[in-house]
Chain A
Amino acid sequence: MKTNCYVARSTAIAARALGDETMVMSATDSTLFTLNEVASVIWQAADGVTPLDQIVATKICTQYDIGLEPALKDAAALVEDLAAHGILLLSDTPLASPGNSRGVTP
């Protein structure tokens, strides 16, 4: 997977922040994910127009004690997993995210 891909939240999900974590449920198969604090940052930043590597560099590496390379590796695995369940959309080109205007989580 290219780490400069674009990621956007699907509309076919239910999601809510719970403390520093985020609950995300796929509407297609009702699989429930609990995203930890770091994964939640990626989830909230998945606006469809910011490349993943930029999200990791600006939102993760600046806030958490982790290098860019391992952070990108972990982030890529996370978004691939979420994309496989249809709750994140991946693209080589920018995507319009339905969550952009209203914010997915409170």
Chain B
Amino acid sequence: MTEIAAKALKLNVPLNAQIDLTYRCNERCVHCYLDHDDHGEMTTTEIKDLLDQMAEAGVFYLNLSGGEILMRRDFFEILEHARLRTFCVKLKTNGVLIRKKEAQRLRALGVESIQISVYSHRPEVHDAITKMPGSFRQSIEAARLLRAEGLNVTFANVLMTENAADYQGVRALAAELGIKCSLDPTVTPMMDGDRSVLQLNVDRSKLQEVFRDASLVGDVEEFCALPTSVDEAALDMLPCSAGHTACYVSPYGDVYPCVQFPLPCGNVRRTKFADIWRDSPQLSEVRSITLRDMPSCSQCAHGATCTRCPGLAYLEGNMRGPSIQDCEKSYARTGIPSENFKRKNAAQPALSSLNLVQIQGIQPAPRNFAVAVPEASGVRA
């Protein structure tokens, strides 16, 4: 896979693409970063045309996501077209609308894998997060049906204050059903920049516990190893695949480097996908950034090993800057504060006194980051 990715990078091929078919959803998850209205989704014809263009451009891995993909009545028509164009199709769904007939059809169409959101092994906890009574039962039933068809299913769990104690229960349930399980410890800001949802992030002690759980991370010593020095090779590193070999298209045809990186790069309703991918000034800028170009991160001890997300950094105001959520993760793994943390700590007294001044329009610092606002760690714990 690494060789393929390297070749795609060299040839400027968008190997991976995610299309959100809709932002509409039958669940209302407390941590969701989307609104759920239809602001003018692409039509069936537009999506089929986009798929044709993506196939021509070289997209191989196609993630169909949402919102809830099955909220679109034309979902199977779209999927059928995607498979006709021989994409490797991965689906993200809550599974609520999948019954035996749908499971059989997904099997017949040869999807590579299906990711189902499951937040707890306890129905009451899961349903409280989705705000949809009965959703746990329906999602698990869908998982059983899909497995019965021999499909590759993964539970996608997001770790947050509401379900912090349950991730092992979800893993046990997944194992019982013959299903893989992934755990994402990051709640991300809403696409409109609203950061209030970040208060659902777990506190540092929980992150430290998760990062030291061998059943999750494998070799704990290796996973939590002290950062290696930032050498010349590290300074030339690219941040991640976003905009390099991967991209995201919204239900309205907007192209972004990644679902988590809402930098508008063009719209397929006005411009051909390949032209956006090749010529977008925004994508060119994203592609030009290496660790060397990041003033804070290039000086940081974690520079070579950090999982910094450029999209989260962009949402914090600077795509060349640090992402405080990743600073927190690096600290939780190693106990070594990032350069960003050191600066914020140094600035803390001044910030505290500034808080005494009421200035309208200035948002307070996120309150769930223990290092930035130590006294506020574990807001909802």
Contacts and interface: CB of A to CB of B under 8 A. Distances in A.
A59 interface: no
Interface stretch (B52-60, B215-223, B287-295, B351-359): B52-60
Given A14-B87, A16-B59, A27 B112 contact: yes
A99 B83 CA distance: 11
Contacts of A13: 86, 110
Interface in B106-120: 110-113
A16 B3 contact: no
Interface stretch (A18-26, A47-55, A71-79): A18-26
Contacts of B88: 14, 25
A32 B15 CA distance: 14
Contact of B4 (A12, A15, A23, A104): A23
Given A18-B7, A99-B86, A106-B57, 11 more contacts: A11-B110, A13-B86, A14-B60, A16-B58, A17-B58, A18-B8, A19-B7, A30-B112, A30-B113, A34-B3, A106-B55
B1 interface: yes
A34 B85 CA distance: 18
Contacts of B58: 16-18, 106
Interface of A: 11-19, 21, 23, 25, 27, 30, 32, 34, 99, 102, 104-106
Nearest to A14: B88
A105 B86 CA distance: 8
15 contacts: A14-B88, A18-B7, A18-B8, A18-B58, A19-B11, A23-B4, A27-B110, A27-B112, A30-B113, A30-B152, A32-B1, A34-B3, A99-B86, A102-B85, A106-B56
Contacts, number: 53
B19 interface: no
> Which 4 A-B residue pairs are closest in the complex by CB-CB distance?
A14-B88, A27-B110, A16-B60, A15-B86
B265 interface: no
B57 to A, nearest CB: 8
Contacts of A14: 60, 86-89, 110, 112
Contacts of B113: 30
A27 B1 CA distance: 17
B4 A18 contact: yes
Contacts of A32: 1
Contacts of B56: 106
Given A13-B86, A14-B60, A16-B60, A25 B7 contact: no
